[in-house]
Structure 1
């Protein structure tokens, strides 16, 4: 007998999701191993505060464990996971906007690879700051698309927005970044920003 839930959003994670629903601690470890790094990177890019990102990361997993029974497989597990993290990140950003924005420790950005060109690291930091300067609604879609390779459809599922809105926000956010880049030393004379 085919379980329709397993044919939908569970995807290749069906066994892990079922084990999670049964409270299997090994399944929790496997899911954290599989999604931990990209999830934390997403949260960190959204809130731009390492301590806040750690708190959101932990709370995301608490909510996953607490609410796994409500996951019906209508979307992919990773989409559901990122939705939880996005909602918690939005709440944190609202709280942070009431006080001064805390910058990330630049040392945390340095690559573990000693052969990485320092200019590339500096360029990446400048681009990161430009992305961080975008309004939250624009930053969400840019981070999901360009840092996490999500499709318009996946971004729509994660954010709860219509796909058309996702496309227009991506376009507007790209235009905003283009304008910000043109006003900095990142601009290359005679080059089009894509």
Structure 2
């Protein structure tokens, strides 16, 4: 029995594993849409209730994570409209150097120095780096943050990210690229 079937059967261990894996990212994505972290936490909890209530209807046309995040984003948008705040995921242009750091497949053209020089000291400082990355992700514009959390941290397919956020493929790629450039600049500050 796979994890989806076990979740449908009410397996608490599977739910606990999914909850632990996805909740921090869910709160971060919801916070890009609603007005506060507390509201984002509420939206996350509402999403988990909806997931448990509707898991029997999950058909597997998207990944389970994609389905969960689609529910989350819809709930966050509804809450933002109700609270009088909404964030558009469409973003205007910025500079012409977007392709400078990445190749056509989204990989670094040149690895940041930080990753080239891994030493025992840097391994020990890993927690600080993780905190710095969380802060860096939290500092980028909401649309970029939502895309990078869903695409990179959660590993959703590009089509799932586009569907969940209501973006075109091209717009999603631009937002992801800009987020990566911002994060790369923050990482460069550490070296």
| TM-score bucket of the superposed structures, by smaller chain | 0.5 to 0.7
Higher relative contact order, chain-length normalized (CA < 8 Å, sep 6+): 2
* Distance of 1:80 and 1:118 partners within structure 2: 31
* Alignment equivalent of 1:124, drawn from 120, 133, 146: 133
Change (3 A) 1:61 1:163: same
- Match for residue 158 of structure 1? 164
5+ residue gaps, structure 2, are 87-123
- Match for residue 173 of structure 2? 167
- Match for residue 71 of structure 1? 58
**1:59 and 2:46 aligned:** yes
- Match for residue 87 of structure 1? 74
* Distance of 1:96 and 1:119 partners within structure 2: 36
* Distance of 2:155 and 2:41 partners within structure 1: 22
For the 8 Å contact 2:147–2:172, the answer to whether it is kept is yes
**1:137 and 2:132 aligned:** no
- Match for residue 15 of structure 1? 5
Change (3 A) 1:76 1:123: closer
What SS does structure 1 have at the residue aligned with 2:59? coil
| TM-score, with structure 2 as normaliser | 0.58
What SS does structure 1 have at the residue aligned with 2:155? coil
- Match for residue 17 of structure 2? 34
For the 8 Å contact 1:86–1:159, the answer to whether it is kept is yes
* Distance of 1:123 and 1:151 partners within structure 2: 26
CA RMSD of aligned residues (A): 3.6
For the 8 Å contact 1:39–1:57, the answer to whether it is kept is no
- Match for residue 7 of structure 1? none
| TM-score, with structure 1 as normaliser | 0.57
5+ residue gaps, structure 1, are 1-10, 99-114
